[in-house]
Amino acid sequence: MYIQLLQQLIATPRTSRNEAAAADMLSAWLTRQGISHNRHNNNIWTIAPNYQPDRPTLLLNAHIDTVKPATTWQRDPFQPTLEGDTLYGLGANDDGASLVALLAVFRQLTTHAQPYNLIWLASAEEEVSGSNGIRSVLPLLPHIDVALVGEPTGMQPAIAEKGLIVIDCTTHGRAGHAARDEGDNAIYHAMEDINWIRNYRFPRHSTLLGDVRTTVTIINAGTQHNVIPDICHYTIDVRTNECYTNTEIIDIIRQHINADLKPRSTHLNSSSIPQTHPLVQRAIALGRTPFGSPTLSDQALMPFPSLKMGPGQSQRSHTADEFIRISEINLAITDYITMLDGCDLSRAV
């Protein structure tokens, strides 16, 4: 049943901000299964029966959207192709496998009483951290105590995740003729900044995520070869660890460079969950090894503890001929249920 649902998802184009058809299909599927659910924009969620406000609440989350298909696909990215144990298709690995596995787990866990409330959420716009994705839904949900975020991690528990800041910078100079010793070259001011960015090491090191990483990825200046440029634009990609807030990182950079800084956003924070948390301990009991993830997910937008763990492999994501193995989905469902069934989340609240 859930593999067929995944195949339907693959056959329904659902790139970020264009998930309406997939949300319609998923909503119709839930209705046919008799599952009461809610929808806001293209996000869909269902709350397990017998919700009790005095119990902790666990959110099961995976995203419905995909990136655009790479140009080097050898197969039709929207044609689910099953070859033995392997299912090919855009979004099969990232994030369809986790989406359907967590839905199967939600249904199984709700067949008998659990010591916590349970919510399953299929969120939109995850690949672009869009405003109509999980950010628009969280205010509509009951209080969440912890989330299990399904992403392809080989079912290893990611207990920390790097955050992201993108900063647009501008240095200023004075135009002049390149043939004469005049003007003030804005590129040279940018070079001084970039040299500091390249060599500075933020002192707080994370054992799970390593150091904060700053990289200049775009630079643009000049109008023609014989004019000293009076303005230079460059962009910094910053991957943060849990030792700093995004605001702290921006303040430190601002203190050391000459450019005008304009962060595109500050809300994509690094996240972490204590290794002592009951969910993490249950994963360890399954023989899994906690690690820190360099990739971003909807965890960055969650103001509560979250654990990232799901079927598939991260290196398959966003690649041509993306695939998932059916055995990986089946194992994930089994492991999720073992982790979650009867888990006492009150010890972490």
pLDDT in tens, 33-75: 999 999 999 999 999 999 999 999 999 999 999 999 999 999 9
- Residue whose pair of structure tokens reads 């298909």 in the numeric block: 69
- Residue 296, SS3 per DSSP: coil
At 190-244, the pLDDT tens digits run: 999 999 999 999 999 999 999 999 999 999 999 999 999 999 999 999 999 989 9
Within a 10 A sphere around the Cβ of 280, how many other Cβ atoms?
21
Within a 10 A sphere around the Cβ of 64, how many other Cβ atoms?
27
- Residue whose pair of structure tokens reads 């184009």 in the numeric block: 13
Confidence band, pLDDT 50/70/90 cuts, at residue 1 = confident
The enclosing H or E element of 86 equals strand 86-88
At 140-195, the pLDDT tens digits run: 999 999 999 999 999 999 999 999 999 999 999 999 998 987 899 999 999 999 99
Q: Provide the phi-psi class of 7: left if phi over 0, else alpha when psi is between -120 and 50, else beta.
A: alpha
* Contacts (Cβ under 8 Å, ≥6 apart) of 170: 231, 232, 233, 259, 260, 262
pTM exceeds cut of 0.85: yes
Determine the Cα–Cα distance for residues 72 and 141; give it in Å rounded to an integer.
Answer: 40
Phi, psi of 174 (to 5 degrees): -140, 130
The enclosing H or E element of 26 equals helix 20-32
Determine the Cα–Cα distance for residues 339 and 92; give it in Å rounded to an integer.
Answer: 23
Angle at 224 between CA 194 and CA 233, to 5 degrees: 30
Is pLDDT above 80 for 349?
A: no
Determine the Cα–Cα distance for residues 270 and 76; give it in Å rounded to an integer.
Answer: 36
